[in-house]
Homo-oligomer: A and B are copies of this chain.
Amino acid sequence: MTAGKEEDQKGITVKKNENFSDWYTEVIIKSGFMDYSPVSGMIVFRPDAYFVWEEIYKAVDARFKKNGVQNTYFPLLIPERLLKKEEKHVEHFKAEVGWVTHGGDTKLEERLAIRPTSETLMYEVMSKWIRSWRDLPMKLNQWNNVVRWEFKHPTPFLRTREFLWNEGHSAYETEEEALRERDLILGIYESALKDLLALPCIVGRKTEQEKFAGGVASYSMEMLMPDGKAVQGPAWHFDGQNFAKAFEMSFLDKDGNKAYVWQSTYAIATRVLGVMVAMHGDDKGLVIPPSVSRIQIVIVPIYRNENRDLVMSKAKEMRETLGRKFRVHLDDRDDRSPGRKYNEWELKGVPIRLEIGERDISAGKVVAVRRDTAGKSDVPMAEIEGALKALLKNMNKDLYSKAQSFMKGMVSESSDYAEMKDILQKRMGVVCAPWCGSEDCENKMKDETGAKIINMSLGKKVRKGAKCVYCGKDARHMANFAKSY
């Protein structure tokens, strides 16, 4: 399927709850949110999608900066020898690296990897900058593009061979300081998910098998898709001194002794756009939360030839005045009926539609329609600004509540393996169960249920005497099991 022109579009032909996967593809293409590219597994972010990413970038970046993080830019390419310096890291990433072998017609002496992530390159360079405790903490970040040559079936935004993200890399003097960063960063990401994308998440620690390759511990924010599968969102990783030792990132501490830095890394990626689309969209198309919608309000004038000038001039005046406070678009096309315009803007997920005709003008009002609820309300012109502000705010809040209710209904607790398997098979979603912590149990359950441990909820304690749902030995963690993207 390719992007069709408006003339060819017949709206969404698949119901979200009948065939989620086809619905997802149709909705992101037909709405003009993204498009495929001539390179398999790499997508085009059209303006509405890129705008969402820009809003995430702006909000998250401002909070990073407030916390002393400094932005940098490191090269796209990493020499093969560097990538190999941290053993577990290269082991994990080498299978999915895009390799550059030639510059023009010249064969390179050493292959260069397109960064799948920048630890190795950054730490090689940062090690030269860090010499004394005076240079710490060093909290660097970049907003860039990375390539991971996955061979699994690609899904736009959720699994693509190139994606955009931030990669934060901090180096601290002590382990305590490094660990203190965790809640700060996860808090920034959680706000972005909630306030901008209206998405709830489950925060927890990854198991040893699932943690970041080369790190000590990973903390992830897992989200749920409408089909009941989990998808990993932003994450914060504690690297301990693993990379520090591989890249000789040492410094002289306050007592004049040589010490290695303690490190962390963290990221939020464009994958979250896919979750946003999936969670909020409906059978009419996209539903974009107001805080990240490129167009927040579309004005659709309703007129005949006789009163076109009257209506259009009022509509233009509204565009002017409302445009100072909101992101407004006036659909002034004469060759489209209002009904057809409604369909188009619903497909694109614009949060609020304002309908204005001659009778509305006479009555000193406008009709406002919310995209998510289709709720109509008459808004007196005199109160329009406040009313729209409230509508937009409520829509963000309501989208979040709805997504949260969905998630609550999809998360359950079980200490019975048969029951857990049954839930994971029938309803999907997340089952939180006691686990002994052994990789053997983890692997067997994964094989038998198709679900993995997405993370272990923070703050959820194992009940006294609780036994592993699989082997019956003493449980050490409350693990969240789910099938995942």
Residue positions of A touching B, CB distance < 8 A: 2-3, 5-7, 32, 35, 37-39, 42-47, 50-51, 53-54, 70-79, 82, 94-106, 112, 114, 121, 124-125, 128-129, 131-132, 134-135, 140, 144-145, 147, 149, 151, 161-162, 164, 294, 333
Contact = CB atoms under 8 A, between A and B. Distances in A.
A129 B74 contact: no
Per DSSP, are chain A's interface residues mostly helix, strand or loop, or mixed? mixed
A69 to B, nearest CB: 9
Contact of A105 (B51, B73, B79, B95): B95
13 contacts: A5-B131, A32-B129, A35-B125, A38-B82, A38-B124, A42-B75, A44-B125, A47-B72, A53-B73, A73-B164, A76-B145, A96-B104, A103-B151
Q: Which 7 A-B pairs have the closest CB atoms?
A: A103-B149, A47-B70, A42-B75, A45-B73, A99-B102, A5-B131, A95-B104
Contact of A121 (B37, B43, B72, B95): B37
Q: Copy number of this protein in the oligomer?
A: 2
Given A76-B42, A128-B3, A140 B104 contact: no
Contacts of A44: 72-75, 125
A192 to B, nearest CB: 18
Contacts of A2: 128
A333 to B, nearest CB: 7
B37 A75 contact: yes
Given A38-B124, A82-B38, A101-B102, A71 B50 contact: yes
Contacts of A121: 37-38
B100 A47 contact: no
Contact of A38 (B35, B79, B151): B79
A333 B39 contact: no
A75 B40 CA distance: 10
Contacts of A99: 100-103
